[in-house]
Amino acid sequence: MSDGFDIRLERKLESEAAGAGGGVTEVRRIELITGAGRRRRWSSDDRARIVMESLAGGVSVSEVARRHG
């Protein structure tokens, strides 16, 4: 990504926050996924293991998903 895009995005968010009164005041992280991502092929055993891991108490499903890509 170019620095120009980052600067334009930051200015747009700042102007919207200033004009909206309660809008976005800070952006901590933006994840932009570009290009053709590969489709993962999981075996049935891997799928079952990942699902069981996500169902465990006190575990965030999004954490499990990120950990396994």
DSSP string for 6-58: HHHHHHHHHHHHHHHTSS-----------S-PPPP---HHHHHHHHHHHHSTT
Report the chain's terminal Cα–Cα distance, integer Å.
Answer: 22
pLDDT band with cut points at 50, 70 and 90 for residue 18: low
What residue segments make up the domains of the chain, in order of their start? 1-37, 38-69
Q: Has residue 48 got a pLDDT over 90?
A: yes
pLDDT of residue 23: 57
| Angstrom distance (rounded) from CA 42 to CA 47 | 6
What average pLDDT does this structure show over 31-37?
70
